[in-house]
Amino acid sequence: MMKRLLLPLLFFALATPGQALKLIVWDSEMQTKLGAGESSGSKFNLQLVKDYSGPVKVIFSQSADEKSRNTFSSLQSSYDGLLKNGQLSLLTSSDEKAAAAAGPVTGNGSLPLGKFLQQYKLSLTTQTTGQNSAAPDSPLSRDLHATDISKLK
């Protein structure tokens, strides 16, 4: 009886690799929040401003449970990136191993976020908004806005 219960629970735990991985996109000076995202099952939902083009800092946050289970083993807590026309790419020079595993890089040495997330079996859905701070009224944005950025610099 116990084996019948444990086997489905184990399968469910292994079948959902993207459990609440969070992301915040800041300008390069970490003064303005330009986007926020969160995984749900195998999807990663991202909100970005569309009126910004330039270098960004991308911060990932995992739960303590995800860290202890090594769910996102090669994921760094922060990456440099580029945001242009509502498209986010991570610079690959600091993470060539993960970039190589995820697929080909673009000509400017960056890897589109969607391709980067494929290595974690996450598919990307992006929404763009015309205002900075990534839809401040959303619960996700309020939660991510509370992040202590002084620890990330």
Q: Answer whether residue 5 is part of any domain.
A: no
Range of the domain at 75: 18-146
Q: Does residue 12 sit within a domain? A: no
Mean of the per-residue pLDDT values for the chain?
A: 74
CA–CA distance from 140 to each of 11, 22, 25, 35, 145 (Å)?
28, 9, 13, 11, 8
pLDDT tens digits for range 30-69: 999 999 999 998 999 999 998 899 999 999 999 888 888 8
**Bridge partner list, 105:** none
Q: Is residue 48 part of a domain?
A: yes
Instruction: Compute CA distances 9 → 13, 14, 18, 97, 145, whole Å.
Output: 6, 9, 16, 32, 33
pLDDT, residue 19, reads 55
Residue 136 domain-assigned?
yes
Window from 24-33, 66-75, 135-144 with minimum mean pLDDT: 135-144
pLDDT tens digits along 122-132: 999 999 987 65
The answer to whether residue 9 is domain-embedded is no
- The answer to the question of residue 124 being in a domain is yes
Pairing of strands 43-49, 123-129: parallel
CA angle, residues 71, 128, 114, in degrees to nearest 5: 35
- 115 domain-assigned: yes
- Residue 39 DSSP one-character state: E
Helix (H) or strand (E) holding 125: strand 123-129
Number of domains present in the structure of the chain: 1
- pLDDT at residue 94 greater than cutoff 70: no
- What does the alpha-carbon distance between residue 1 and residue 61 come to, in Å, rounded to a whole number? 37
Residues 9 and 12: their CA atoms lie apart, in Å, by 5
User: Does 13 fall in a domain?
Assistant: no
